[in-house]
A = this chain, B = another copy of it.
Amino acid sequence: MEHMTVGRYLIERLIDAGLKHLFGVPGDYVLDFMDRVVASDLEFIGNCNELNAGYAADAYARLNGIGGICVTYGVGGLSAINAASGAYAERVPVVFISGAPTSAQRLAHLHMHHLVTTYDMQWDVYRKVTVDSAQLTNPVTAPDEIDRVLANCLIEKLPVYIEIPVDMVDAPCRAPSPMSFNRERVSDSRSLDECVKEAVALIHSAETPTILAGVEVHRFGLADRLLALVEKSGIPFATTIDGKSVLPERHPSFMGVYMGALSRDAVKSRVENSDALLTFGAMSTDINTGGFTAHLPEGNTIRANMEKVQIRNHYYDRVWLGDFISALTEVVEHRSYRSSYPGRPHDAKGDYTAEADMLLRVPRFYERINRFIDKDMILLAETGDAIFAGSEIYIEEPENFLSQSYYLAIGYCLPATLGVCLARPGKRVLLLEGDGGFQMTVQELSTLLRHGCNPIIFLLNNDGYVTERLIHDGPYNDIQQWNYHKLPDAFGGDALSFEVRTEEELEEALYTARGNPDRLVFINLHLPRDEGSEALDRLSRELRRLQTGG
């Protein structure tokens, strides 16, 4: 048997933890490690730059359960910090691996290229946006450090950082011993009992109990448990925007996405007037709350998050979200709430008939997409109007909607599309991408083409930052107008590329996209310069109202 080394140990543990693809960009401090990666069962996916690699790994992790990137020291690691920050803000388990100079160079304080200040600086920065981290400088302790860091990544669903100096890659170390990364959290049984008892009493005495499902339910893999609770109890549910598609929207108890004043009226009214509102894994961010326009019924609200349940104004600690859902499901009684159920959001879809020479308008486009998307597609909505409009698109199956809807890094979604394509090869990505965001990370279109990915990319071309334009306009919101549809060819790819200005042209593009399930389809969608979706309209009105104190 071959001797174990630190580099191979790290790779084996990444595979044990569920990783299949590793994103990254080469650079001299990480080439030895990359040699071991390409010789392993991990597939290395080269990106055009490190930030894009980080975004791809983040999206991959949201669906695969863990993602990873490996980059070089300094110029590489420090270029990916914003991806780690986004992963931290939105609880995504991504492993950031960086090469580093050798121990000898470090000890001699040599001025090696890519070094900024001290040899610990990059680690110091990453410690601010990761839940655990290690510099692998000692082959004796490296295996334990790797195990601990990867376990914390999976248990906490947060990014971690591992730095592997060049001379450590082939340093001999102990072989991996059996371990499980799926350590279950443990609740305090007395707290759990009391908490469930109180919650169920509130539910049983209520007329309009309501469930609001948030992103933690997805991250911690609790969707099936929550679905069981929904079905056993009969309680209607909404989701937050970052929790959209955590439960299937085709479910008869689904009401829609709740985002404060941005929600459709029936959902807003049901959630805010509920006499027993149960939120599961929902975060109180400005976006989830529609710019803090949410008015939850505080006196009747049960908030369950990762390890804490709040009922009205008191807390139960050490009550694990998964246990809480399961225990509640066991004791809750079924009732029918159909009389007060506000109806499914998508039932009024009705017909859509394209008009031949009609110039495409934003609301009509989203109406059309809502009828085009099916259960084998994953919708990616770029930060900007696409997220707000996307919140109202009908996502039949769970996990078929993805956006970075709290950290909101513009440009996230194009690299994220690569991550999703690799994590879910059986599905097709439908990407809604603004032109401003697209320009930020455009080169990853090349990587999508390189790997034969088949997304349908809608480039929402409104000649600038339309979300900002509607909220706060100025000349800085203008950008260079590109011939976007020419890019797949310029990037050396074999794609189907369209310019769409009318409803009829949109039909042709959609028809071709549907008929070519294996090809990348790029649609340059010319939209009015100052028009947003109906959802963005509601948001900008609301933000103006808040700003003026009106």
Interface residues of chain A, those whose CB is within 8 Å of chain B, are 24, 26-28, 31-32, 34-35, 38, 44, 46, 48-49, 51, 74-75, 78-79, 81-82, 85-86, 88-89, 110-117, 121, 124-125, 128-129, 283-287, 292, 406-411, 439-443, 446-447, 449-450, 465, 468, 471-472, 474-484, 486-487, 489-493
Q: A-B pairs with the 8 shortest C-beta distances?
A: A486-B490, A75-B409, A49-B440, A78-B82, A26-B476, A111-B285, A79-B82, A450-B480
A85-B116, A89-B116, A468-B26 known; A439 vs B482 contact (CB < 8 Å): no
For residue A97, give the distance in angstroms from its CB to the closest CB of chain B: 13
Q: How far apart are the CA atoms of A26 and B449 in the complex, in Å?
A: 30
Question: Which of B121, B286, B471, B478 is close to A112, meaning CB atoms less than 8 Å apart?
Answer: B286
For residue A90, give the distance in angstroms from its CB to the closest CB of chain B: 10
Which B residues touch A484, using CB under 8 A? 490
Which B residues touch A408, using CB under 8 A? 75, 113-114
Which B residues touch A125, using CB under 8 A? 81, 125, 128
- Smallest CB gap from A44: residue in B: B476
Q: Is the CB of A446 within 8 A of B480?
A: yes
Q: Is the CB of B38 within 8 A of A474?
A: yes
Q: How far apart are the CA atoms of A491 and B35 in the complex, in Å?
A: 36
Question: Which of B31, B283, B284, B491 is close to A472, meaning CB atoms less than 8 Å apart?
Answer: B31
A442-B443, A492-B480, A492-B482 known; A474 vs B110 contact (CB < 8 Å): no
A31-B476, A442-B443 known; A286 vs B113 contact (CB < 8 Å): yes
Q: Is the CB of A472 within 8 A of B287?
A: no
Q: How far apart are the CA atoms of A492 and B447 in the complex, in Å?
A: 22
Q: Is the CB of B114 within 8 A of A75?
A: no
For residue A252, give the distance in angstroms from its CB to the closest CB of chain B: 32
Q: How far apart are the CA atoms of A81 and B440 in the complex, in Å?
A: 16
Q: Is the CB of A480 within 8 A of B449?
A: yes
Q: How far apart are the CA atoms of A408 and B115 in the complex, in Å?
A: 10
- Smallest CB gap from A89: residue in B: B116
- Smallest CB gap from A479: residue in B: B46
- Smallest CB gap from A442: residue in B: B443
For residue A383, give the distance in angstroms from its CB to the closest CB of chain B: 8
Which B residues touch A114, using CB under 8 A? 407-409
- Smallest CB gap from A467: residue in B: B28
Which B residues touch A471, using CB under 8 A? 28
Q: Is the CB of B486 within 8 A of A46?
A: no
A48-B439, A286-B111 known; A492 vs B487 contact (CB < 8 Å): no
Q: How far apart are the CA atoms of A217 and B542 in the complex, in Å?
A: 55
Q: Is the CB of B439 within 8 A of A286?
A: no
Q: How far apart are the CA atoms of A112 and B46 in the complex, in Å?
A: 33
Q: Is the CB of B116 within 8 A of A49?
A: no
Q: Is the CB of B486 within 8 A of A407?
A: no
Which B residues touch A75, using CB under 8 A? 82, 85-86, 407-410
Show 13 A/B contacts (Cβ-Cβ < 8 Å), sorted by A: A26-B476, A49-B411, A51-B79, A79-B81, A86-B116, A88-B116, A88-B117, A110-B292, A111-B284, A113-B286, A113-B406, A449-B480, A483-B492
Which B residues touch A24, using CB under 8 A? 476
Which B residues touch A441, using CB under 8 A? 49
Q: Is the CB of B480 within 8 A of A490?
A: no
Q: Is the CB of A124 within 8 A of B128?
A: yes
For residue A11, give the distance in angstroms from its CB to the closest CB of chain B: 14
Q: How far apart are the CA atoms of A121 and B85 in the complex, in Å?
A: 10
Which B residues touch A468, using CB under 8 A? 26-28, 31
For residue A356, give the distance in angstroms from its CB to the closest CB of chain B: 28
Question: Which of B117, B121, B487 is close to A490, meaning CB atoms less than 8 Å apart?
Answer: B487
- Smallest CB gap from A488: residue in B: B490
Q: Is the CB of B31 within 8 A of A475?
A: no
- Smallest CB gap from A487: residue in B: B490
Which B residues touch A406, using CB under 8 A? 111, 113
Which B residues touch A78, using CB under 8 A? 81-82, 85
For residue A477, give the distance in angstroms from its CB to the closest CB of chain B: 6
A48-B440, A442-B442 known; A483 vs B490 contact (CB < 8 Å): yes
Which B residues touch A480, using CB under 8 A? 446-447, 449-450, 491-493
Question: Which of B81, B115, B287, B411 is close to A113, meaning CB atoms less than 8 Å apart?
Answer: B287
Which B residues touch A46, using CB under 8 A? 476, 478-479
Question: Which of B34, B38, B476, B486 is close to A486, meaning CB atoms less than 8 Å apart?
Answer: B486
Q: How far apart are the CA atoms of A474 and B125 in the complex, in Å?
A: 30
Which B residues touch A490, using CB under 8 A? 482-484, 486-487, 489-490
